[in-house]
């Protein structure tokens, strides 16, 4: 039997040829491990979209009102970076949004984690808080904005309180489920090794719940980032969401598009950062 | 007498929907200090329930368990446990797992460190102290579980199918380790197992339990555990005496299983 021609490294990297592992398989349809990255097509679609944008800008196919030209977008980015937007620098707009998210998540965790632990460990605490948590859980944070404006006005407290609520229930539920997921043989082993209740809480239940608490933190970060932008659209004079809203009022479509791109990039960066933290801090996740 | 006295213990579980399960019915058993007792029986015979009562995780419906004349009312560090698997703390390293008991008791660090190193040597894991436990194979994890239990220097070791999840070869090797640790430390050991061969090979005394209600069917006094240190395990397990006992007990358990099936269908 003659050897088949080996595909090049480049073709494998681009996902155009089977690698040595998938080449051995006789059936590939239905086998998820035989589906490769298809990088070639990813590159194709990104380049294609950029090319389309360049082309439409050159030929003036779309009115600037609907979609900015590539040239004016880059000009605007330069302007935003050097002069800011409405007397506030771009970094300040981004910074204030990120600051609000982190504050909300931190406050939510500080209250939510002990609350979730109490609910997972005590019948009294579970009975007491369960109706509130289960009632609040399905309510989208945005629906609370009108009430929060009535209570706190539109200053910084209002926004951080909204984000606190958004993360509070996620963190509570994550901590509660982390506590309930502890395997009884681990708890029994700790008792047989002479541990007290407090030691079991500190040395068994807490570390056991950390992976789920961290998943809760990641989800909260994502939800709060979405919520902060939306909240700023409604009522704020700083922040990336308010920048988009004000720019819309001045028909600055390019600023709107840039704002959207920034929101996407930062949301993605938060997710990557949290995954990195998770791998670093909780390497035992899923290994129990 | 020192040792464990299981005195007319009955356990009735009340089911959430009403109805009762008689897991144990009037079980009595005396275990002398330093004895290795293996407990065998078909599923549902209450052997794990019995172990959990001795460990202090369950309170019997009637009767009591005494350890050195003291009635057992809850778990305690004088009764160490080794579980089937998944009872190690995966957020700790091998050393930290073994040191868990002494650390909880606030023993001096240097003393604990020395003890841990000695125990890791004994179970053949001296090079693995720094590793996280999830990087170890199943057999190595059970070695850690044994060392963790011994680090507390308990009077009694309760083993709930400690080798049940291991492959046949690793299991055989681990049986040798259990035997060796028992001889070296002189601990009283209760070993729950599904394997007739393991129960025969390790137990000085073998308790065969029967289900519905859970009770002791027969008690064997066995010579094999004492031979285990001088002869090779394969030689013992292939001996005529061993094979005869194995077949006898196997057919006894088979009959019990058949009976359960009969009750279920009939």
ipTM for the predicted complex comes to 0.91
Nearest to A161 by CA among A261, A153, B170: A153
- CATH entry, A82-281, from 3.30.530.80, 1.10.287.3510, 1.10.3720.10, 1.10.10.10: 1.10.3720.10
Residue of A nearest to B153 (CA): A193
Q: Does residue B161 fall inside a structural domain? A: yes
B21 contacts B173 by C-beta, under 8 angstroms? no
Chain A residues within 8 A of B132 when measuring between CB atoms:
283-284, 287
Q: How many domains does chain B have?
A: 2
Q: Which domain holds residue B130?
A: 85-153
Q: Which residues of chain B have pLDDT under 70?
A: 1, 228, 264-266
Optimal mutation site among B53, B57, B88, B100, interface A, most CBs of chain A within 10 A: B100
Of A192, A207, A288, the CB nearest to B80: A192
> Alpha helices, DSSP H only, in A18-155?
20-23, 39-59, 70-83, 90-121, 123-136, 145-152
Query: Same domain for B183 and B199?
Result: yes
Interchain CB distance below 8 Å, B87 and A185? yes
Nearest CA in chain A to B98: A193
Does residue B89 sit in the same domain as residue B73?
no
To the nearest whole angstrom, how far is the Cα of B54 from the nearest Cα of chain A? 11
Chain A residues interacting with chain B (CB cutoff of 8 angstroms): 183, 185-186, 188-196, 199, 203-204, 207-208, 210, 282-284, 287-288
What CA–CA distance (Å, rounded) separates A34 from A118?
46
Asked, for residue B253, whether it belongs to a domain, the answer is: no
Q: Tell me whether residue B238 is in a domain.
A: yes
**pLDDT band (50, 70, 90) for residue A4:** low
What pLDDT is attached to residue B96?
95
Is residue A122 helix, strand or coil? coil
* Cβ-based contacts of A188 with chain B (< 8 Å): 55, 57, 75, 81, 83, 87
CA–CA distance, A232 with A242 (Å, rounded to integer): 5
Is B134 contained in some domain?
Answer: yes
User: What's the confidence (pLDDT) of residue A1?
Assistant: 46
B116 with B242, same domain?
no
Of residues B133 and A9, more confidence is placed in B133
**Please, what is the average pLDDT of chain A?**
90
Judgement on whether residues B131 and B40 belong to the same structural domain of the protein: no
Poorest-confidence range of A124-133, A279-288, B131-140? A279-288
Domain residue ranges in chain A: 9-65, 82-281
Residue B236 lies in a domain: yes
Considering B153, B170, B197, which residue would you say is the last residue of a domain?
Answer: B153
B166 and B228 belong to one structural domain: yes
Instruction: Output the pLDDT for position A42.
Output: 93
Chain A residue with CA closest to B85: the answer is A185
Does residue B116 sit in the same domain as residue B169?
Answer: no
Dig out the tokens for A139 from the structure: 């309510």
Q: Is B135 in the same domain as B182?
A: no
Of all residues in chain B, the one with the smallest CA distance to A197 is B104
| Same domain, residue pair B110 and B65 | no
Residues 6+ apart with CB under 8 A from B87: A183, A185, A186, A188, A189, B81, B145
Residue B133 inside a domain? The answer is yes
Domain of B49: which CATH number?
Answer: 3.40.50.300
**What was the pLDDT predicted at A105?**
96
Chain B nearest-CA distance from A63, in A, is: 58
**What is the per-residue pLDDT for A236?**
76
Pairs of residues, one from chain A and one from chain B, whose beta carbons lie less than 8 Å apart: 74
pLDDT at A175: 96
Q: What are the chain B neighbours of A195 within 8 Å (beta carbons)?
A: 100, 104
Q: Mean of the pLDDT values across residues A86-98?
A: 89
Peptide bond into B213 cis (omega under 30): yes
Quick one: pLDDT at residue A219?
Answer: 94
Is B184 in the same domain as B238? yes
Beta bridge partners of B80: B157
């Amino acid at each position: 039997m003659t050897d088949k021609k080996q595909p090049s490294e480049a073709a494998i990297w681009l996902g155009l040829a089977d690698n040595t592992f998938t080449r051995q398989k006789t059936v590939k349809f239905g086998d998820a491990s035989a589906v490769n990255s298809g990088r070639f097509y990813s590159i194709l679609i990104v380049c294609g979209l950029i090319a389309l944008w360049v082309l439409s800008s050159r030929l003036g196919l779309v009115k600037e009102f609907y979609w900015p030209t590539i040239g004016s977008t880059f000009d605007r980015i330069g302007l935003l970076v050097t002069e800011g937007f409405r007397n506030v620098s771009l970094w300040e707009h981004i910074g204030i949004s990120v600051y609000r998210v982190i504050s909300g998540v931190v406050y939510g965790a500080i209250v939510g984690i002990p609350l979730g632990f109490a609910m997972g460990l005590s019948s009294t605490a579970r009975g007491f808080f369960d109706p509130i948590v289960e009632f609040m859980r399905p309510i989208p944070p945005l629906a609370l904005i009108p009430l929060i404006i009535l209570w706190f006005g539109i200053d910084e407290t209002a926004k951080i309180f909204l984000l606190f609520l958004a993360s509070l229930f996620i963190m509570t539920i994550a901590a509660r489920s982390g506590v309930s997921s502890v395997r009884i043989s681990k708890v029994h082993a700790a008792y047989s090794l002479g541990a007290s209740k407090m030691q079991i809480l500190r040395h068994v239940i807490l570390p056991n719940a950390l992976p789920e608490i961290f998943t809760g933190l990641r989800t909260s970060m994502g939800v709060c980032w979405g919520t902060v932008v939306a909240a700023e659209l409604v009522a704020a004079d700083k922040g990336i969401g308010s920048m988009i809203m004000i720019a819309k009022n001045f028909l600055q479509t390019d600023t709107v598009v840039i704002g959207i791109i920034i929101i996407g990039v930062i949301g993605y960066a938060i997710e990557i950062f949290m995954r990195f933290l998770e791998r670093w801090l909780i390497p035992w996740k899923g290994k129990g | 007498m020192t040792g464990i006295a299981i005195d007319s213990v009955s356990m009735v579980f009340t089911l959430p929907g009403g109805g009762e399960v008689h897991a144990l019915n009037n079980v009595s058993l005396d275990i002398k200090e330093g004895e290795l007792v293996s407990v065998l029986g078909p599923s549902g015979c209450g052997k794990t329930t019995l172990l959990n009562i001795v460990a202090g995780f369950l309170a019997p419906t009637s009767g009591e368990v005494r350890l050195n004349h003291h009635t057992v009312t809850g778990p305690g560090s004088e009764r160490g446990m080794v579980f089937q698997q998944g009872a190690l703390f995966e957020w700790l390293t091998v050393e930290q797992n073994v040191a868990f008991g002494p650390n909880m008791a606030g023993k001096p660090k240097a003393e604990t460190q020395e003890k841990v190193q000695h125990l890791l040597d004994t179970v053949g894991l001296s090079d693995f102290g720094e590793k996280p436990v999830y990087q170890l194979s199943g057999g190595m994890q059970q070695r850690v579980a044994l060392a963790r239990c011994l680090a507390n220097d308990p009077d009694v070791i309760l083993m709930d199918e400690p080798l049940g999840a291991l492959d046949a070869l690793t299991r055989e090797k681990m049986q040798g380790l259990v035997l060796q640790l028992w001889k070296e430390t002189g601990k009283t050991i209760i070993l729950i197992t599904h394997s007739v061969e393991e129960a025969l090979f390790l137990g000085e005394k073998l308790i065969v339990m029967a289900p519905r209600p859970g009770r002791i069917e027969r008690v064997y006094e066995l010579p094999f555990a004492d031979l285990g240190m001088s002869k090779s395990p394969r030689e013992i397990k292939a001996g005529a005496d061993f094979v005869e006992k194995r077949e006898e007990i196997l057919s006894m358990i088979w009959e019990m299983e058949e009976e359960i099936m009969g009750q279920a269908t009939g």
